[in-house]
A and B are shown apart, each in its own frame.
Chain A
């Protein structure tokens, strides 16, 4: 099948615009919230009060096409249909596109994206379903989608195996079963691998257990960063869901006593390890989310690249609770935010 690239890029824009339209009202509410929360957070940032970008400088989320506040709760369930066998077939279309993103106020980065955002769409399925991901490469560079999960070799999304590398303008369909349940990843696997990941080609892939999980306020956090000077030695900007210090300015609003579930992953390139630390609270930790019993009750966890897990907690106290990498350097270079418990 032959596709016109311009058409593809147009399609990518539409996908991004659609995403924006879908989250529009919520985005406005979040902005209104941040005005209130911004006051509370005002004491924070600058000099001895802690790290900050230049006061008053903000990222243009509209131009970026996504707001990290929306990415947190934006789970893409795709389209479903029941197969003759009784199984559910779940389908997505994911389009790769090159896009300039403002990763910190005033700093642009030539990103490579899935569906025009970094991280890419959070694909969410149920254990045992048949999954079909149509991947369209609208980028100027070859890409793939390599899923973490259990699948046949030809569906692995690496060059030289099965459909291999997907050239610009080409597309492919990855098809496999949703297993095992847990918090997983997908990312491009074309070489140089470090660059393809660092540029933004990754996203979360969540498989819910057959029996489901307890009702909760669910959040997806992808710990990432941007090596803006391309020296391949560490990063200049660190964040969850790409925009540094975003949740300092726009704290994540959660309800006191309500179960909060965080799907957390580390995809950070050029640094060997990342971590997550929550102030004033402890959480149950489920490594990779593949067991239903927590392995730890803690307030700090470390993750190498590709490691992920599920955090569950209820905030007993209302107020502002900071969360950040407990690698202080990353925290002070942007990987820092607040929960606002109401």
Chain B
């Protein structure tokens, strides 16, 4: 067949409407339909055209969650590989055990819960080995056996108390600096804003390092470190959008000091998202028995997070007297997510979720830093000058030193 057997379509001049046009929706629907059909065809027959894989089936499974109850070890096992995997037997510390499961085969990306009948002892380490139908062994380490707290009323009460101690109370305490900030001179305000930037920068880096570690500890079935970036990107862009929206509203209302209030709200949201991740870490550490509860932990977090309260009220120093209700709302926005994080961490912990939430916290913090930079500019418009650098470094130093007090 000739390549040019059909007449070439002539190029329409802009605005020309000489040809009959399909409706816009049809132009969208036709390629979509073709793509779906082509993918379906590839899925059903396309694979066969390439022949089979050279090697044996890939058996990749990982334990996603471990729950310890008296006389029982419950494992949630995720298939992270491309092929279905059948778990045939399980042994714990070199002894085969009876177990209950709804099925043995775990489909691609699927998960299965295995409840092992095993008299584990408090504070002892265990090595669980899953043997697949082909004899492949997958080991799961339980570094220290501690009964998983059962999610009853008392447990939620404890988590709420923990979240209040590490989130709400310290933030509220930090906000008590507001009257002081309202009295000091302008260059001191800029210093405290710079200090806030230092605090937040430290938190972002710290959260990134911790998030990387957590993401790498996961099964990888739903991704690893990239989840940090996904969360961070989403939070950053989401807060930028929120900021633009609030600004637009504020301009319409022409409310004096609205931008200071908005800045405080954004800082509170950013810190709140960060505290969600912090609560998550505390809750999960508590659930696996790795958290040393006690005065030291509460004191350390209180000192650490008090600085967060300072960061929230710093932009309000020039504002006309804010209402107590508004201040309380800011405090709750920043502190209460620690409670929610503790719940999630202690009851439904999973490294992928943790990585995503920590990523969200990082994105929020970075966005807040960007928001705060204009507030530290001096009369010459510089963001970095001796006093602001001093403020930033002081913020970093304060968090570094108070962080040393937290052993969790």
A→B interface (CB under 8 Å): 45-48, 51-55, 57, 103-109, 226, 228-231, 236, 244-245, 329, 332-334
Contact = CB atoms under 8 A, between A and B. Distances in A.
Contact of B134 (A47, A57, A108, A244): A108
B10 to A, nearest CB: 68
A329 B94 contact: yes
Contact of A333 (B88, B96, B133, B135): B96
Given A47-B117, A106-B89, A333-B91, A245 B96 contact: yes
Interface in B130-161: 131-137
Given A228-B136, A228-B137, A229-B136, A107 B88 contact: yes
B71 A47 contact: yes
- Specify which of A45, A105, A228 lies most central, judged by the most chain B CB atoms within 10 Å of its CB: A228
Given A47-B118, A329-B94, A332-B91, 11 more contacts: A46-B98, A46-B117, A51-B95, A51-B96, A53-B98, A54-B98, A105-B88, A105-B89, A106-B89, A106-B104, A228-B136
Interface in B63-119: 71, 86, 88-91, 94-99, 104, 117-119
14 contacts: A46-B117, A48-B71, A51-B95, A52-B96, A52-B97, A54-B90, A57-B89, A106-B89, A107-B131, A107-B132, A236-B131, A244-B96, A332-B91, A333-B95
Contacts of B89: 53-54, 57, 104-107
Contacts of B134: 107-108, 228
Nearest to B116: A47
Given A106-B89, A106-B104, A52 B98 contact: yes
A47 B89 CA distance: 14
A104 B132 CA distance: 11
Which range holds the interface residue count of chain B?
Answer: 20 to 34
Contacts of A103: 135
Contacts of A48: 71, 119
A109 B88 CA distance: 12
B363 to A, nearest CB: 42
Interface of B: 71, 86, 88-91, 94-99, 104, 117-119, 129, 131-137
B94 A108 contact: no
Interface of B is mostly: strand
A329 B129 CA distance: 14
A242 to B, nearest CB: 14
A246 to B, nearest CB: 13
B117 A107 contact: no
A105 B87 CA distance: 11
Nearest to A52: B98
Contacts of A230: 135
Given A47-B71, A53-B89, A54-B89, A108 B98 contact: no
Nearest to B95: A332
Contacts of A47: 71, 97-98, 117-119
Contacts of A54: 89-90, 98-99
A229 B99 CA distance: 21
Contacts of B135: 103, 107-109, 226, 228-230, 236
A105 B133 CA distance: 9
A109 B132 CA distance: 11
A333 B92 CA distance: 10
Given A106-B133, A107-B88, A53 B96 contact: yes
- Specify which of B99, B119, B129 lies most central, judged by the most chain A CB atoms within 10 Å of its CB: B99
A74 to B, nearest CB: 26
Contacts of B131: 104, 107, 228, 236
A106 B88 CA distance: 5
Contact of A45 (B98, B119, B137): B98
Contact of B94 (A55, A104, A332): A332
A105 B97 CA distance: 13
B372 to A, nearest CB: 55
Contacts of A57: 88-89
B96 A332 contact: yes
Contacts of B97: 46-47, 51-52
- Rank and list the top 8 A-B pairs by shortest CB-CB distance, nearest first: A228-B135, A106-B88, A332-B95, A46-B98, A47-B117, A51-B95, A107-B88, A329-B94
B96 A106 contact: no
A332 B90 CA distance: 12
A341 B89 CA distance: 30
- Specify which of B71, B88, B118, B136 lies most central, judged by the most chain A CB atoms within 10 Å of its CB: B88
A207 B118 CA distance: 45
A329 B119 CA distance: 16
B256 to A, nearest CB: 71
B40 to A, nearest CB: 35
A124 B127 CA distance: 44
Contacts of A329: 94-95
A194 B97 CA distance: 29
Nearest to B119: A48
Contacts of B99: 54
B102 to A, nearest CB: 13
Contacts of A105: 88-89
A137 B91 CA distance: 36
A226 B136 CA distance: 12
A55 B115 CA distance: 12
Contacts of A334: 96
A153 B88 CA distance: 45
- Specify which of B89, B96, B136 lies most central, judged by the most chain A CB atoms within 10 Å of its CB: B96
A47 B115 CA distance: 11
B174 to A, nearest CB: 52
Contacts of A245: 96
Contacts of A226: 135
Contacts of B90: 54
B133 A108 contact: yes
Contacts of B95: 51, 329, 332-333
Contacts of A228: 131, 134-137
A230 B136 CA distance: 8
Nearest to B71: A47
B130 to A, nearest CB: 11
B347 to A, nearest CB: 26
Contacts of B96: 51-53, 244-245, 332-334
A104 B88 contact: yes
A108 B132 CA distance: 9
Contact of B137 (A55, A229, A244): A229
Nearest to A244: B96
A257 B125 CA distance: 46
Nearest to A245: B96
Contacts of A231: 137
Nearest to A334: B96
B111 to A, nearest CB: 18
A332 B95 CA distance: 4
A271 to B, nearest CB: 12
